[in-house]
């Protein structure tokens, strides 16, 4: 199969023919139809996550959808021919976190965490970046990483459910559990931020203020449900927030970009008793200052949202149903579609800040030959 391989952080990915081993016990092989490019993938291939990510050679990509082609021994959740979303989230169903309903924090042991299923033609092992390695025509993942799709949901839209949608929407609905009528500020109107906007709109929040530095993204935020927008390059964000909240500032601020400056900004936008929700992943080692005394006195909270506190088998079907009934936007998230051979161009477009989500599209599984 073909894959886009990172041989050196910061260098262009190389399109190569690689070998994919058959799925082992509890694993499935999925022939991919589409994979979206997330900022986390960009962080990985640029070397921003040197303390967290796999070393080269590595295949990034973790926001995918396709058709199950083969299953290993003991697989019960899916079978060949199923159309599925493929996510980075693995869950064993038995550990402490799975048992308390937090499978997104699973600490179970998986063979795929140490064994290599992808090899160069020379035999050299290749790492699966972000637990998936989906910048390739096919992947082998744990069965817990896939969720079955209805036949009428296109794979290039469905792949967005694997990360960007569940992360943004889930931060609002699952992690923060925003109440109707709450005032919400969202810093960053990219792919994750727009899905947080959708979550806020579906929760009945008001006002919903989207903050960004790109006017086109702010226009998109209004289409996704923001009631107000502000370009932080040209306007006083704190002043706008105070004007919308009778001077109290916001009940919730969601920081959907991995920027220490954005986190610092968010900390100054919540009311007494308010909550800042950190969603975007920064470069390794990033920090932001907190005025401890102010937070104690004001009863404020800072919480992290790991992948939108997602339970894949619960949340993905809910999101699919919302999409089918016109309540969730997916089509509008896609800025452009590219073949695998143009993946470096697609990544550069993401880094430029204008794209929401660029999607790599393969031949429809079953037609690829």
Residues 6+ apart with CB under 8 A from 279: 167, 168, 171, 192, 196, 254, 255, 256, 305, 308
Q: How many residues does the chain have?
A: 369
User: Could you tell me if 208 and 227 are in contact, meaning their C-beta atoms sit under 8 angstroms apart?
Assistant: yes
Q: Of these residues, 54, 144, 163, 203, which one is catalytic?
A: 163
Q: Of these residues, 6, 43, 91, 228, which one is catalytic?
A: 43
Please tell me what DSSP assigns to residue 18: E
DSSP 178-222: PPTT--EEEE--SHHHHHHHHHHHHHT-SSEEEEES-HHHHHHHH
For the chain, state the CA radius of gyration: 20
Cα–Cα separations (whole angstroms), residue 318 to 155, 161, 312:
17, 11, 10
Q: Residue 228 catalytic?
A: no
Q: Residue 40 catalytic?
A: yes
Q: Residue 6 catalytic?
A: no
Q: Of these residues, 6, 39, 53, 62, which one is catalytic?
A: 62
Collapsing DSSP to helix, strand or coil, 285 comes out as: coil
User: Could you tell me if 186 and 208 are in contact, meaning their C-beta atoms sit under 8 angstroms apart?
Assistant: yes
Q: Of these residues, 6, 39, 40, 259, which one is catalytic?
A: 40
Rounded distance, CA 20 to CA 149, Å? 24
| Residues classed as catalytic | 38, 40, 43, 62, 163
């Amino acid at each position: 199969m073909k894959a886009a391989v990172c041989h050196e952080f910061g260098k262009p990915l190389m399109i190569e023919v690689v070998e994919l081993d058959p799925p082992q016990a509890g694993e499935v092989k999925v022939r991919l139809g589409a994979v979206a490019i997330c900022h986390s993938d960009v962080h990985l291939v640029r070397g921003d996550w040197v303390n967290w990510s796999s070393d080269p050679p590595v295949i990034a990509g973790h926001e995918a959808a396709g058709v199950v082609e083969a299953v290993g021994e003991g697989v019960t959740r899916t079978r060949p021919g199923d159309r599925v979303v493929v996510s980075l989230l693995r869950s064993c169903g038995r550990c402490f976190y799975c048992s308390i309903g937090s499978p997104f924090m699973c600490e179970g042991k998986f063979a795929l965490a140490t064994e290599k299923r992808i090899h160069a033609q020379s035999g050299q092992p290749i790492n699966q970046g972000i637990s998936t390695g989906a910048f390739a025509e096919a992947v082998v993942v744990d069965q817990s990483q896939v969720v079955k799709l209805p036949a009428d949901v296109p794979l290039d839209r469905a792949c967005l459910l694997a990360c960007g949608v569940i992360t943004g929407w889930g931060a609002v609905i699952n992690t923060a559990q925003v109440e109707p009528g709450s005032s919400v500020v969202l810093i960053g109107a990219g792919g994750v931020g727009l899905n947080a906007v959708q979550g806020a709109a579906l929760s009945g929040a008001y006002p919903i203020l989207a903050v960004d530095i790109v006017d086109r993204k702010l226009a998109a935020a209004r289409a996704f449900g923001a009631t107000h927008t502000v370009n932080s390059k040209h306007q006083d964000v704190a002043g706008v927030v105070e004007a919308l909240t009778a001077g109290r500032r916001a009940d919730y601020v969601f920081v959907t970009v991995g920027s220490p400056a954005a986190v610092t900004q968010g900390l100054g936008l919540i009311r007494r008793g308010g909550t800042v929700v950190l969603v975007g992943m920064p470069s390794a080692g990033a920090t932001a200052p907190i005025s401890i005394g102010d937070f104690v006195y004001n009863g404020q909270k800072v919480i992290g949202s790991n992948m939108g506190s997602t339970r894949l088998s619960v949340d993905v079907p809910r999101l699919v149903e919302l999409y089918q009934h016109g309540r969730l936007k997916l089509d509008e998230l896609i800025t452009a579609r590219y073949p695998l051979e143009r993946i470096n161009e697609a990544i550069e477009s993401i880094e430029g800040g204008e794209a929401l989500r660029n999607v790599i599209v393969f031949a429809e599984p079953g037609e690829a030959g």
